[in-house]
Amino acid sequence: MTEAIVPNADRAPRRGDPARALIEAALQRARLAIFWERLWPALATLATGVGVFLALSWLGLWLWLPPLARAAGVIACGLIALAAAAPFIFLRVPDSRDGLTRLIAAAGCGIGRQPRSPTNSPSRRKIPIRWRCGMRMSNGRWLRRAP
């Protein structure tokens, strides 16, 4: 048999498929949410460093200090700002895999407290979420398992 049979080839999503567009939009929103969750702690740290400098300025500290101490204070605040900007170096933009993991987790596939049933036994809860959702990994892509 030389012909490859592709299961559900007629049901494969096409480029103009509205379901595909909805999934891609949900994936984009998930990636943006993950990026924001990674970005805001770095922004908060930097804002705190700038806030310390502004608070010292509004207190008039620079007017009370002699010139050499004033320069040292400004340099110290600059170093604090640089240290506060360090998390931006390690900031990683989420890829599609991160977004898919978020969507699978948000879909509720075996997550959260569920009533006890034969399909929700304690031994079943130890199985990875992707397997409980009927998903498997193949060539870097998530595929739904055949029923």
Assigned domain for 11 exists: no
Structural domain boundaries, residue 26? 19-93
- Count the domains in the chain: 2
Spell out, as residue ranges, where the chain has pLDDT lower than 70. 1-15, 108-147
Q: Give the per-residue pLDDT at 112.
A: 45
3-class SS letters over the chain: CCCCCCCCHHHCCCCCCHHHHHHHHHHHHHHHHHHHHHHHHHHHHHHHHHHHHHHHHHCCHHHHCCHHHHHHHHHHHHHHHHHHHHHHCCCCCCCHHHHHHHHHHHCCCCCCCCCCCHHHCHHHHCCCHHHHCCEEEECCEEEECCC
pLDDT in tens, 55-67: 999 999 889 999 9
**Does 66 lie in the same domain as 132?**
no
